[in-house]
Amino acid sequence: MYILLMGPPGAGKGTQAARLIEKYNIPQISTGDMFRAAVKEQTPLGLEAKKYMDAGQLVPDSVTVGIVKERLAKDDCKKGFILDGFPRTTAQAVSLDAILKEMGIALDAVVNLNVPSDELVRRISERARLENRDDDKPETVQKRLTVYEESTKPLIDYYRNSGIYKDINGLQDVDDVFTDIVNALGR
């Protein structure tokens, strides 16, 4: 099962991905988690990524596509994966198409979690309190939402007519969102 999980920051991608990996026994590929791990380990990638993350901006496509390509080449991705937070730009989506083609696989579903922006601000503020994520500071949150609107939301149009696009109401409680996703995946 090859799943792409999309949605704005705070839509619940991480929460739903955690449940999906358990149900389908496939790895979650979260570029945000990968960057946060690199920042923590203070690798050259982490030092580079941190500049962008702290500003609420996207890490450049070339860097991001590079780490995803490397990750997807690992053995555990052979049985499937959940992409969470990638692609975030049209250029990344085009690169992903090329990577998948090279791997000889195709996505089974593109799942978009739909949540209105006032609710996103509320959720991210709550996460800032609980998880103390550097990029959940109020001044950065607004920037991330703007970046989503400008750079990532257009991807909905990129995938909408693919035949595998699933729009999910992310405003429901966590269990109902998960049920809807599983039903949309159809297995």
Which residues of this protein are in contact with ligand AMP, per CB under 6 A?
A: 9, 31-32, 35, 52-53, 57-59, 64, 85-88, 92, 135, 144
Q: Does the active-site annotation cover 129? A: no
Burial label for 8, CB within 10 Å (0-12, 13-18, 19+), is buried
Q: Which is nearer to ligand AMP, 23 or 51 (CB)?
A: 51
Residue 3 C-beta: closest distance to ligand AMP, Å: 15
Residue 117 C-beta: closest distance to ligand AMP, Å: 15
> Which are the contacts of 132, defined by CB distance < 8 A and separation ≥ 6?
none
> Which are the contacts of 16, defined by CB distance < 8 A and separation ≥ 6?
5, 113, 174, 177, 178, 181
Residue 41 C-beta: closest distance to ligand AMP, Å: 15
The 3-class secondary structure across 83-127, one letter per residue, is EECCCCCHHHHHHHHHHHHHHCCCCCEEEEEECCHHHHHHHHHHH
Q: Does the active-site annotation cover 36? A: no
Q: Does the active-site annotation cover 144? A: yes
50, 88, 123, 166: the active-site residue: 88
71, 123, 144, 166: the active-site residue: 144
Q: Which is nearer to ligand AMP, 51 or 183 (CB)?
A: 51
| Catalytic (active-site) positions | 13, 88, 127, 133, 144
